């Protein structure tokens, strides 16, 4: 059975040992490596254990042999320039890489600061109790009446957050009691 455990693990910047330690109960890096390469069968039990360790849905670990439409990572850009990877691997969308909250996207129609017209910003929802960990990050905040505010979170207290919009000369915006914020995790820009 062909799986994409390695691609997801590398997409999350985890080692075999880290995935093995996250399994419940913990296992060895060699066992995870054997399952990744197909020298050991990926049973339903192992699929669930590894999916939990990677923070993804179990079905994401499987791929069809006929699935040639999956985008591939073929090279990486390093200090010396572009270099080929030893072997191609699947490019996993940010929503598939898991995380603590649901993913959402915002399109940029008019350039603001570092964001250009045509950009797509992928964001992950963060509950109110975790706002402290996203200070100084770009966030999308819901406002009354179905509106939103986007900007760098520059301050927060128990009842409000202060955002600085990305455009030059913009004033800070105060959002009272937002139930959640969505932190920018990925920028998709057409060339």
- The DSSP bridge partners found for residue 138 are 152
Between 57 and 5, the more confident residue is 5
> Domain 99-188 is of which CATH architecture?
Ribbon (2.10)
- Other CB atoms closer than 10 Å to residue 94's CB: what's the count? 16
Q: What is the mean pLDDT of the chain?
A: 84
Q: Give residue-wise pLDDT tens across range 53-99.
A: 998 888 888 875 554 566 677 777 777 777 777 877 766 665 555 56
Assess whether pLDDT exceeds 90 at residue 17. Answer: yes
Q: How many residues make up the chain in this entry?
A: 191
Between 109 and 35, the more confident residue is 35
- Rounded CA-CA distance 178/134 in Å is 14
- Residue 78, pLDDT score: 76
In the numeric block, the tokens 């045509």 are attached to 118
Sketch the domain layout of the chain as residue ranges. 5-95, 99-188
Q: 5-95: what fold?
A: 434 Repressor (Amino-terminal Domain) (1.10.260)
Assess whether pLDDT exceeds 80 at residue 38. Answer: yes
- Residue 162, pLDDT score: 94
Burial class (CB in 10 A: 0-12, 13-18, 19+), 57: exposed
Find the mean pLDDT for residues 139-158. 89
Assess whether pLDDT exceeds 60 at residue 190. Answer: yes
- Residue 27, pLDDT score: 94
- Rounded CA-CA distance 161/153 in Å is 7
- Residue 29, pLDDT score: 94
- Rounded CA-CA distance 98/6 in Å is 15
- Residue 75, pLDDT score: 74
């Amino acid at each position: 059975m062909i799986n994409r455990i390695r691609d997801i693990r590398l997409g999350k910047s985890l080692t075999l040992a880290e995935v093995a330690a996250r399994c419940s109960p913990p296992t060895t890096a060699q066992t995870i490596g054997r399952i990744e390469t197909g020298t050991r069968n990926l049973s339903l039990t192992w699929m669930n254990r590894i999916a939990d360790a990677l923070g993804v849905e179990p079905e994401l670990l499987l791929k069809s042999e006929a699935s040639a439409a999956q985008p591939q990572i073929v090279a990486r850009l390093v200090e010396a320039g572009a270099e080929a990877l030893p072997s191609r691997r699947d490019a996993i969308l940010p929503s598939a890489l898991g995380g603590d909250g649901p993913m959402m996207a915002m399109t940029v129609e008019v350039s603001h600061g570092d964001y250009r017209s045509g950009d797509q910003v992928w964001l992950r929802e963060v509950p109110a109790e975790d706002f402290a960990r996203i200070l100084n990050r770009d966030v999308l905040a819901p406002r009354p009446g179905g509106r939103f505010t986007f900007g760098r979170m520059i301050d927060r207290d128990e009842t409000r957050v202060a955002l600085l919009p990305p455009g030059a000369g913009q004033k800070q915006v105060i959002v009272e009691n937002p139930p959640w914020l969505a932190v920018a995790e990925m920028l998709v820009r057409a060339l």
